[in-house]
Structure 1
């Protein structure tokens, strides 16, 4: 363990466990380490949705370890919660975490919305995501880039490519009054605000006072 830590491996991977909101999760190199910024996504999602019954549908895009999906299932136990990821390794970890927490979530493999059944279009109440939002040319600390999955970090040359897809496609998947809550990169506020211009939206701060959490709602006025 000492050698692994001296080699820059994150402490969370060495411990193999991490607290996230109301739950405790297993974590390893199959998925990104859940961070406080992502907990803010969970917090804003809970405040936005307020309540959920058996007909409520929540989708976590790029679920990774399952942290957001499982924390939301804990907060809204009656809701149908779906976690999507393109990585089979990440989904295996998410499934282990579902068993570890005793929470029931549906796991689907695929690239964002392509994994979802078509009958959910226009029926989702809440979409959450901590998507890749780092530009391929950006420098990251070795502790992150050498140990955490690159697929979950880098979005493309601009850094907002995945967020742009979520903005465009989520409009057709959420119902009227439905919410989209996403983690975004520091400095991306203006661009992301433009990407989500079809929604009523606001970018909120993380615990460090940086604009990192997009909260968007599909209003009736945008669908007349």
Structure 2
């Protein structure tokens, strides 16, 4: 067993604990607790606690921790061991190479969702000043990433939660992104005459039964509003698909994130609604992740 940092004797300068040894201690603690990504989490927490960069962890990692850094490392380790995600401990998460503030009011953006951004950008190539709608925008990570990559684009983010929109607006300001943020349910607050080149959404798609088996860092820290997709997890998709037919320009695209086992069902919904070029894209882990289709009417 690894002795936690806060239980080590504090003779001398914190028993000679330095940034490198603190990282090793934390990684081993996390590994023994079967936490995912122990090395990465330990590194990120030690860097945040000490203020060192990754390069400085190599060049200055043998320097003793200050008492303040030691206390921060110990606090961060205890919080992670309790199940709190690293991004909540640090207050931010990187997505598509940009840092985004996260709170308990928004779904923390995952790397798998970057498939949605990459494919949307590919589809927007050659379209001048495109119009983008993001339904259930949450932290704004998807829309802000798109607008950051396409400064000529116009973006609208819709969310049912005022608290989530406050986070999205903060993230937009952080990256100097201008967008329209609207509170409401799906298409309800969007003028019926508005048309978009691309509509994207990462809706809640966890079934009621699956909610009970989620890891503590998802179940207890991500907002249920952003997770629960109804009895079978598919409740949002008919609404998103039907509304897209009235809000997409001719030739426009709808892209939605899905659960790993929902590809066939959502593909069928797209096809039944009359979308063409319907396809399912996989994430880096090889799981079905995004369903897309073109509206030609």
Alignment TM-score, normalising by the size of structure 2: 0.71
1:125 to 197, 209, 212: 197
Secondary structure of the 2:182 match is strand
Secondary structure of the 1:212 match is strand
1:41 to 110, 116, 134: 116
1:67 pairs with 2:141: yes
Which residue does 2:293 correspond to in 1?
Answer: 216
Q: Which has the higher contact order (CA 8 A, sep 6+)?
A: 1
Q: How does 1:9-158 map to 2 (within 5 A)?
A: 9-54=84-129, 56-120=130-194, 123-138=195-210, 139-158=213-232
The 8 Å contact of residues 58 and 80 in structure 1, kept in 2 or not, is answered as yes
Q: CA deviation at 1:163?
A: 1.4
1:199 pairs with 2:275: yes
Instruction: Structure 2 unaligned segments of length 5 or more: list them.
Output: 1-75
Q: CA deviation at 1:68?
A: 0.7
Quote the Cα distance in structure 1 between the aligned partners of 2:113 and 2:124: 17
Q: Which range is displaced more, 88-97 or 169-178?
A: 169-178
The 8 Å contact of residues 205 and 211 in structure 1, kept in 2 or not, is answered as yes
Secondary structure of the 1:156 match is coil
The 8 Å contact of residues 22 and 74 in structure 1, kept in 2 or not, is answered as no
Secondary structure of the 1:148 match is coil
After the TM superposition, which parts of structure 1 deviate over 4 Å for at least 4 consecutive aligned residues?
none
Work out which of the two has the higher radius of gyration on C-alpha atoms and give 1 or 2: 2
Quote the Cα distance in structure 1 between the aligned partners of 2:207 and 2:292: 22
Q: CA deviation at 1:180?
A: 0.8
Quote the Cα distance in structure 2 between the aligned partners of 1:112 and 1:61: 6
Q: What's the CA shift string for 1:116-144, capped at 9, x where partnerless?
A: 12220xx2110011100111111211110
Aligned residues: 217
Q: Which range is displaced more, 19-28 or 141-150?
A: 19-28
Which residue does 1:166 correspond to in 2?
Answer: 240
Secondary structure of the 1:53 match is coil
Quote the Cα distance in structure 2 between the aligned partners of 1:51 and 1:15: 38
Structure ranking higher in strand proportion: 1
Q: CA deviation at 1:64?
A: 0.4
Quote the Cα distance in structure 1 between the aligned partners of 2:105 and 2:173: 17
Quote the Cα distance in structure 2 between the aligned partners of 1:217 and 1:59: 15
